[in-house]
């Protein structure tokens, strides 16, 4: 029988949302988001409570508006104040406009900075930080979705046309820290991958510096972002860039001019050492040359053109080696091989996309474009919040997938009791991750514990 008002299914939301509040979530929303011109006056009331309800529902595993009702089950209203029905939250999201989504994006950036300062998220950011930019196409169905249109995406290595919406995202990571979302912007499905990229990069650089990146910042991107706007934004901000260049006659001439003895094997999986000479035997080699890009614009840029070439194994019984060349443009000061390996780690942004798709970004649930844009930003904030909670829990959880954090930290069942009028959460005995859960609880609430003892026992 589903009749117990003292059971909760997501006890981990208590320390997670406590951490969100310590990073100033509600205060930032109240300061920066105003819905004065709402079509339905009641829908604009208490944006802080409604947005925190959405983020809490996403942290508990909700990937649609109806799923947000998970935060109203059992004893959840006794743990949290201001819990809203999913219908109310859906009506609230439909009141958003483009201006409101920009306000919410500003909240997300400041909240990320506060989480970094509060939890030690992004370790080593003072020395070196990486900003990656990429886009994806989320499929949508039906004729009522605003902005939905056919765009190019890659499925199983093939380019296909698919109807959907295209979020553009930037992430920040470090040598030892897992990536977090610096910004996300929803666009129409037919939007070019590089549309709006320069401003997104500029915002991400500002966020990284506010979070403590006082050392080198490297911006990485694929061929959609190897243009004068993105590179110009990097140079204006005083950061380094590493972006793929689309091959054109000028790039092809520069590659052809590289001497044959300039190519150096680079260590990739499958590379082995020659037992006689000790040299690396690899099908991948790198070399570099100086190249001036964007000569047709007012601001040409001269930097290093690093080229990786790989043997084309599709050519059988070849008379001479056939190579496929992959050039990228960078002003990095690292060695050729190190610059190539560092650039290829740009693919780390795909792990963030996988987390978002496996979580709240599995759907874009509203028919209104601005509502879906706000939903995507809330999904990014949830990702950062879970990443910060994992950082406080254990080194293993600091780099864990979002699904792992939800399963082990957030969706923990508990029963509410009041012995001696003290609220107590009774969690399952022999929970495999009880030590990590208690570590998170103590690190979040230890500063709030009075001298007479804790207000609750986990």
Token pair 């052809």 is found at: 256
Q: What's the pLDDT at 274?
A: 57
Q: What is the pLDDT of residues 361-371, one digit of tens each?
A: 999 999 999 99
Closest CA to 244 of 219, 265, 264: 219
Strand partners, 412: none
Q: Are 330 and 304 in contact (CB under 8 A)?
A: yes
Q: What's the pLDDT at 152?
A: 83
Q: What is the pLDDT of residues 303-317, one digit of tens each?
A: 999 999 987 666 566
In the chain, % of residues over pLDDT 90: 77
Residue 384 to residue 4: CA distance in whole angstroms: 33
Average pLDDT taken over every residue of the chain? 90
Q: What's the pLDDT at 313?
A: 62
Report phi then psi at 228, rounded to 5: -65, -30
Q: Where are the beta strands (DSSP E) in 189-298?
A: 216-221, 240-244, 264-265, 272-273, 280-281, 284-293
Report phi then psi at 133, rounded to 5: -130, 135
Q: pLDDT grade, residue 450 (50/70/90)?
A: very low
CA angle 40, 43, 48 (to 5 degrees): 150
Closest CA to 60 of 7, 12, 115, 112: 12
Q: What's the pLDDT at 446?
A: 82
Residue 217 to residue 373: CA distance in whole angstroms: 28
168 to 200, 235, 349: CA distances (angstroms): 8, 21, 11
Residue 194 to residue 442: CA distance in whole angstroms: 44
Q: What is the pLDDT of residues 70-129, one digit of tens each?
A: 999 999 988 888 889 999 999 999 999 999 999 999 999 999 999 999 999 999 999 999
Residues 6+ apart with CB under 8 A from 252: none
Residue 454 to residue 154: CA distance in whole angstroms: 53
Q: Are 458 and 437 in contact (CB under 8 A)?
A: yes
Residues 6+ apart with CB under 8 A from 314: none
CA dihedral of 261, 223, 239, 107, whole degrees rounded to 10:
-150
Q: pLDDT grade, residue 203 (50/70/90)?
A: very high
For residue 330, the SS3 value is strand
Class of residue 183 by CB neighbours under 10 A (exposed 0-12, middle 13-18, buried 19+):
buried
The DSSP bridge pattern shows strands 216-221 and 240-244 to be: parallel
Q: What is the pLDDT of residues 420-440, one digit of tens each?
A: 778 899 999 999 999 999 999
- The total of other beta-carbon atoms located within 10 Å of residue 377's CB is 26
| H or E segment and range at residue 247 | none
Which ranges constitute the DSSP H helices of 42-158? 47-59, 76-79, 86-93, 98-119
Token pair 């509410």 is found at: 416
For residue 445, the SS3 value is helix
């Amino acid at each position: 029988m589903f009749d117990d008002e003292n059971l909760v299914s997501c006890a981990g939301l208590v320390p997670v949302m406590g951490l969100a509040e310590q990073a100033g979530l509600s205060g930032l929303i109240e300061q920066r988001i105003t819905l004065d011109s709402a079509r339905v006056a009641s829908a604009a009331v208490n944006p802080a409570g409604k947005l925190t309800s959405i983020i809490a529902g996403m942290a508990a595993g909700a990937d649609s508006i109806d799923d947000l009702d998970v935060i109203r089950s059992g004893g959840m209203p006794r743990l949290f104040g201001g819990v809203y029905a999913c219908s109310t939250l859906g009506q609230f999201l439909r009141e958003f406009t483009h201006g409101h989504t920009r306000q919410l994006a500003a909240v997300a950036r400041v909240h990320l900075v506060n989480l970094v300062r509060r939890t030690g998220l992004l370790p080593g950011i003072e020395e070196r930080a990486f900003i990656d930019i990429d886009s994806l196409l989320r499929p949508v169905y039906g004729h009522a979705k605003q902005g939905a249109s056919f765009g190019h995406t890659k499925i199983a290595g093939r380019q296909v046309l698919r109807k959907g919406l295209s979020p553009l995202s930037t992430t920040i990571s470090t040598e030892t820290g897992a990536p977090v979302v610096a910004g996300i912007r929803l666009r129409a499905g037919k939007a070019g991958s590089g549309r709006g990229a320069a401003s997104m990069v500029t915002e991400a650089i500002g966020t990284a510096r506010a979070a403590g990146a006082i050392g080198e910042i490297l911006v990485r991107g694929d061929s959609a972002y190897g243009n004068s706007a993105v590179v110009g934004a990097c140079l204006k901000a005083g950061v380094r860039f590493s972006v793929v260049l689309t091959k054109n006659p000028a790039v092809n001439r520069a590659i052809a001019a590289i001497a044959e003895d300039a190519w150096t094997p680079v260590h990739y999986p499958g590379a082995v050492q020659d037992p006689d000479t000790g040299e690396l035997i690899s099908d991948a080699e790198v070399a570099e040359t100086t190249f001036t890009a964007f000569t047709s614009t007012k601001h040409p840029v001269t930097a290093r053109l690093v080229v990786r070439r790989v043997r084309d194994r599709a050519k059988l019984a070849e008379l001479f080696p056939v190579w496929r060349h992959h050039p990228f443009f960078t002003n990095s000061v690292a060695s050729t091989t190190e610059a190539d390996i560092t650039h290829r780690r740009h693919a780390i942004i795909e792990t963030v996309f996988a987390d978002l798709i496996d979580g709240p970004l599995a759907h874009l649930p509203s028919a209104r474009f601005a509502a879906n844009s706000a939903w995507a930003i809330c999904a990014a904030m949830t990702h950062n919040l879970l990443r910060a909670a994992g950082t406080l829990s254990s080194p293993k959880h600091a780099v864990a997938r979002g699904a792992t954090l939800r399963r082990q930290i957030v969706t923990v069942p508990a029963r509410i009791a009041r012995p001696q009028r003290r609220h107590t959460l009774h969690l399952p005995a022999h929970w495999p991750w009880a030590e990590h859960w208690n570590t998170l609880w103590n690190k979040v609430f230890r500063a709030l514990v009075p001298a007479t003892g804790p207000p609750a026992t986990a």
